[in-house]
Amino acid sequence: MSNTSPLIQIDNLSARIRNEDQTLFPLQGVSFSIERNVRMALVGESGSGKSLTASAILGMLPTGSQITDGTIIMNERNLALISEKEFQKIRGKEISIVFQNPKASLNPVRTVGSQIAEVLRVHERINQKQSHDKAIQLLESLGLPDPKKRARDYPHQYSGGMAQRAALAMAMACQPSLLIADEPTSGLDATLQQQVLDLLTQQVQHQKSSLLLITHDISVVGATCEQVAVMYGGRIMEVGPTELILRRPMNPYTEKLIESFSRSQDGKMTSIPGTVRPPTTELKGCPFADRCHMANKQCHTHLPELAPKGDRLIACINV
């Protein structure tokens, strides 16, 4: 890992959600960093806290949620403490996001080109013609045919793959330092999935940005990201170089997650026994203990810290 300071450093991030019926603890001490000009994946099953971590980085926690502990340091600022007014200057310029459903993130009553142009005018202080011309250039650079016409179209006139390209154009318009892609290939067929992943890689490399790819599908990580952080139960279980972790996982959860995307000799898919427990209580032991084939009594009472182990970080008392 790099000796220079990371682009963003998350330490001991915890959050809770209060609603009428109960209090949930979806993030319980999340720690990892994203280096500059590096593509990192945040992987884990649904409900592990991946998207909420992204929301915390962007200052977009859902109603009823709040950060209760920890820091998110970027450019010497703690994003866990800054105001919404300050975040409005950061979102779209320093940090951008591509959502799972790109059409839902685009305004249905405005043309795609006008939405991209507005991001440019807000953050780059350029006039309407300059921003419109640059919006067309961005659409063209992302492979949309007839970009002048497409800039005048509305989101409903775009296919799923085209909408994802338009959303990426809007996200990358101001050359952010960090692009967050939250399940960007969900609902796309295999060919479109690969196209979107290739585009993400090309764009962040071209602009020398960092990428945080959020996905439950560890099979898409290998060809896209250099680093991977594995998440479960609101905690980070393992962090390190993607190639190394995919080839030789050390945390039992990482091992089972990789196995669940592999086929056995008889061609059947395997699954992890048990289910993800809802985060209704604060953790006393390892979040994976109830489902782990290596768990012992201490695993249920001792919360493992993320600690260096060779060329990776790992949270497990049995490794």
Segments of 35-166 assigned E as strands: 39-43, 65-74, 77-78, 95-98
Structure tokens at 103: 């059409």
- For residue 2, what pLDDT is reported? 46
**Token pair in block for residue 226:** 């250099």
User: Domains of the chain (ranges plus CATH)?
Assistant: 8-94+179-314 (3.40.50.300), 102-175 (no CATH)
Q: What H or E segment, with its residue span, contains residue 199?
A: helix 190-207
What percent of the chain is helix, strand and coil (3-state, nearest 5)? 35, 25, 40
What DSSP string runs through 129-154?
HHHHHHHHHHHHHTT-SSHHHHHHS-
Give the per-residue pLDDT at 1: 45
Measure Cα distances from 165 to 58, 89, 177 in Å.
Answer: 21, 24, 19
pLDDT at 136: 96
pLDDT computed for residue 8 by the predictor: 98
The C-alpha atoms of residue 201 and residue 211 are separated, in whole angstroms, by 8
Whole-number Å distance between alpha carbons of 187 and 11:
32
Rg, Å, the chain Cα set? 20
Per-residue pLDDT 10s for the chain (319 aa) are 445 789 999 999 999 999 888 999 999 999 999 999 999 999 999 899 999 999 999 999 999 999 999 999 999 999 999 999 999 999 999 999 998 887 777 999 999 999 999 999 999 889 999 999 999 999 999 889 999 999 999 999 998 888 989 999 999 999 999 999 999 887 777 888 888 899 999 999 999 999 999 998 888 898 899 999 999 999 999 999 999 999 999 999 999 999 988 755 565 667 888 888 899 999 999 999 999 999 999 999 999 999 999 999 999 999 8
